[in-house]
Chain A
Amino acid sequence: MNMYVTGMGIVSAIGMDTTETINSILAQRSGLGPIRWVDTRLKNNVVAGEVPHDDNALRTLAGVPAQPLATRTTLLGLLAARQAINQAGIVPADGIRTGFISASTVGGIVESEKVHAEVLAGTYPGSFVDTNDGAESTDYLARYFGFTDLVTSINTACSSSANAIVVGSRWIRSGLVDRVIVGGTDSLSRLTINGFNSLMLLDSQPCRPFDQRRQGINLGEGAAYLVLESEACVRRAGKTPLARLSGFGVTNDAYHPSASSPEGEGLQGAMRQAMSQAGLQPSDIDYLNTHGTATGNNDITEGMAIRRVFGDAVSFSSTKSFTGHTLAAAGAIEAVIALLSLREGLLPPNLFFEEPIPEHGLSPIRTVSADRHHRHVMSNAAGMGGFCSSLIFSAN
């Protein structure tokens, strides 16, 4: 069954919509920089990819009241989901069965952590019990947009929203729903900065994915959503889809809680499954948007996996050098960037790359080009706990 993308929305450090995102990529302008919005003692030790608006500005852009509380995570999600919904021309309650899957790891903790000392001391008057989890943004957005048919949240760490896309397409394929809005949202938070800092995985300079001297991750924030529709749904409405979701693969590396196996077996499996489902050969993939976190472990193991699957014949980059690592939103943000590359004939560059990793010797795209004719693009995502996912989007 063909599965079509009819809408997409994106908010990240490099733009508040698809146009701004394309322009930043064309200008090779990274969104990484000093932390402005998060109150953390590590502010001067790390670089991050923050969305360039404070909470009030986001609330104004979203056009929602101060109460009930829309967390920063929710606001980012709302802004991205609305773009996707508008582009697909979805009218609420039009009788078409609609699924909604949203992913978040930080969720509403971004709000409670601002007063956590008071919460612990028992002096904070309120309670965050209804907004402190990763599903708060899903529930808020489901109510806001009026999705009631089938709603859920996924959290598989840094592959969460890639999996939201996978599960949404399977809901359509099974006939449970006719269309889905799928993606994820995460805010930069003191919690995740400290979490990745405790793992010694953060770079104090702009990250250098796939570079021999890479030092680690820059965290980012943002949100992205796709609208996927069944072929019948697209035909009925007479829509021209943006692209096709032609394949996906989901595996678990089952190697280590926080590291990938030496040859990236999990990702190899996910990429191969996705190509097999799409009926494609490695040589058919015109662009690969990698997970590319710039950690020592990811970029060597993902690179080895790429070598095993593609030999040396694939154009790839990590756009985390633009956006930072947006955790649960990363899979969807990078799916949208892959879709933009498919639509616009773009090869997004991998910024800050100088020297290849000797073990696999792979060099990513270094300079942007916008004159390609892509037919198939792939996007990888991986998460702590061994979660590996790969998506393929194809021109109609």
Chain B
Amino acid sequence: MKPVYIESVAGVPAQWTPTPTAALFRAVEPAYQQFISPGESRRWSKACRMGVYSAMQALRQASVTDGLGAVTVGTGVGGLDCSERFQRAIVEQQESGLSPTLFLQSLHSSISGQIALSLQCKGYNMTYTHRGTAFESALLDAALLLDEDPELGRVLVGGVDEVAPVYLESLRRAGYLQQPDADFADGIVPGEGATFFVVSPTATPDSLAVVRDLRLVHSVADETALAQAVNALLADHGLVVADLDLVLSGLCGQPVWDRKLAAWIGQLPASVPSLPFKTWCGESHTATAFATGLAVRFLNGTYPEETGTWPHPTPPKTILIVNHYQDANYGIVLLTAADC
């Protein structure tokens, strides 16, 4: 994969929020008026609002006023709450008098479609929905697009997910959730949020970071296979694990699923620190989008308060994100500082 340069990052963060049955990272929704009319805000799904807002912020920060080449979005569950409300209405209203808006807003593709509409971007537009690698797929697509046609200029790529009541209850019934009174290692804390990026095929004075490479791996046999996948990616760039300044790991808190990743982290050299990024965003299909945004902050020395103090005088230059979703979908992303 040819590298892509991250020109801007914007998103909607989430905040740890207790509920009677479970904790979750609830999106802290901004005031949308600047970009989205009150009527649209009411009609759109939370995922759509967060996505369009993040997209517009990212474009503004990258000073893209025209000429956005393409849009690629990853979302695991799309407009989940609208989907649940529509399905509830099917039962409760016995299949009559249903709201078409809820149906349209429940479509996974409504987010990148609305971004195209709001930005009047008539180019390539794609929505990936593959669970834990939905965002990685979108990022890979953006990189391929820019490799195929550097004239495309800038591509918008993002990840967005929301949580809704029936889904939360289904997670609880399946036994996946962290018990309210337990520690981190007993189950997942579901999360929502959005992170969008403007990426470019060449470095600019405003480049914030470089996505050097990424891999999607389906069904990792064991920690050795995971190590092989990581080492192969690093070797393609003349690197070994000891060259990494930081690993952002997608440990989710469910020990059965975390076993292989935890074992791989356990074998890291002492000089390579690792941080479990889901401590700050929770578990979602597109958590890697959050981790990528976090990596950009670390690479630029703007450390988030909650992650503690960076122990070295200079910011990290090389960061590897290793994420997994339910031990089925693994995503590995290599980022370096923009001046590397």
Q: Determine if B113 and A384 form an interchain contact, defined as CB atoms under 8 angstroms apart.
A: yes
**Stretch among A11-19, A127-135, A295-303, A306-314 lining the B interface:** A127-135
Contact B91 A134 (CB under 8 A): no
Q: Tell me, yes or no, whether B137 is within 8 Å of chain A by CB.
A: yes
The stretch that binds B, out of A137-145, A343-351, A368-376, is A137-145
> Does the CB pair B131–A142 fall under 8 Å?
no
Residue from the list B76, B125, B169, B326 in contact with A156, Cβ < 8 A: B125
From the candidates B110, B121, B128, name the one contacting A254 in the complex (CB within 8 A): B121
Is A151 engaged at the interface, CB distance under 8 Å to the other chain? Answer: yes
Across the interface, B77 reaches (CB within 8 A) one of A133, A200, A252, namely A133
CB of B108 closer than 8 Å to a CB of A: yes
Residues of A within 8 A of B167 (CB): 129, 132
Q: Which residues of A contact B124 (CB under 8 A)?
A: 250-252
Of B30-38, B140-148, B202-210, the one touching chain A: B140-148
Instruction: Report A172 CB to chain B, min CB distance, Å.
Output: 11
One digit per residue, 1 when the CB lies within 8 angstroms of any chain A CB and 0 when it does not, for chain B 11-54 equals 00000000000000000000000000000000000000000000
B90 and A156 contacting across the interface, CB-CB below 8 Å: no
CB atoms of A120 and B131 under 8 A apart: no
Distance in angstroms between the alpha carbons of A147 and B216 in the assembled complex:
12
| Chain B contacts for A203, CB-based, 8 A | none
List residues of chain B with CB within 8 A of the CB of A117.
Answer: 91
**In the complex, are the beta carbons of A155 and B127 less than 8 A apart?**
yes
Q: How far is the CB of B283 from chain A (nearest CB, A)?
A: 12
How many positions in chain A have a CB within 8 Å of any CB in the partner chain?
68
User: Complex formed: what's the CA distance from A149 to B218 in Å?
Assistant: 7
Contact with A along B250-279 (1 / 0, CB 8 A): 000000000000000000000000000000
8 Å CB contact of B112 from A135, A147, A153, A385 = A385
Q: Of B58-66, B94-102, B299-307, B315-323, which binds chain A?
A: B94-102
Stretch at the interface among B152-160, B171-179, B193-201: B171-179
A349 → B minimal CB distance (Å) = 31
B109 touches A383 (CB 8 A): yes
B241 at the interface (CB under 8 A from A): no
Tell whether, in the assembled complex, residue A134 and residue B129 are in contact, meaning their CB atoms are under 8 Å apart. yes
> Judging by beta carbons under 8 Å apart, are B88 and A129 in contact?
no
Within 8 A of B (CB), among A118-177: 119-120, 122, 126-130, 132-135, 138-139, 142-143, 147-157, 160, 163, 167, 170-171, 173-174, 176
Alpha-carbon distance A276/B292, docked complex (angstroms): 36
A138 touching B130 by the CB < 8 A rule?
yes
Q: Assess whether A384 is in contact with B107, with CB atoms less than 8 Å apart.
A: yes
The residue in chain A whose Cβ has the minimal distance to the Cβ of B44 is A257
Chain A residues near B126: list those with CB within 8 A: 154, 156, 163, 167, 250
B228 in the interface (beta carbon within 8 A): no
Q: CA A254 – CA B71 in complex, angstroms?
A: 12
Within 8 A of A (CB), among B67-122: 71, 76-78, 86-88, 90-91, 94-96, 98-100, 102-104, 106-110, 112-114, 116-117, 119-122
Chain A nearest Cβ from B302, distance in angstroms:
32
Our pick among B109, B125, B141 for the contact of A155 (Cβ within 8 Å) is: B109
Per-residue CB contact flags for chain B residues 163-193 toward chain A (1 = under 8 Å, else 0) read: 0001101110110100000000000000000
B227 CB-CB contact with A under 8 Å: no
B150 CB contacts on chain A under 8 angstroms: none
Residue of A113, A133, A252 touching B123 (CB-CB under 8 A): A252
Do A152 and B116 form a contact, CB below 8 Å, given A199-B100, A258-B104, A266-B122?
no
- Cα distance A118–B235 in the bound complex, in angstroms: 52
Contact flags B203-240 to A (C-beta < 8 A → 1, else 0): 00000000000001111000000000000000000000
Is A269 part of the contact surface with B, judged by Cβ < 8 Å? yes
Top 4 nearest A-B pairs (CB, nearest first) are A385-B113, A129-B170, A195-B103, A153-B130
Add 20 more A-B contacts to A151-B130, A167-B126 (CB < 8 A).
A119-B166, A120-B88, A127-B170, A129-B171, A135-B130, A148-B218, A149-B218, A151-B133, A151-B216, A151-B218, A151-B329, A152-B130, A152-B133, A155-B129, A173-B148, A199-B104, A254-B120, A384-B104, A384-B107, A387-B109
In the complex, 21 of the A-B residue pairs with CB atoms within 8 angstroms, ordered by the A residue number, are A41-B94, A129-B170, A130-B326, A133-B131, A134-B129, A139-B218, A149-B218, A152-B134, A154-B127, A154-B129, A155-B129, A160-B109, A167-B126, A173-B148, A194-B103, A195-B106, A250-B125, A251-B125, A252-B124, A385-B109, A385-B110
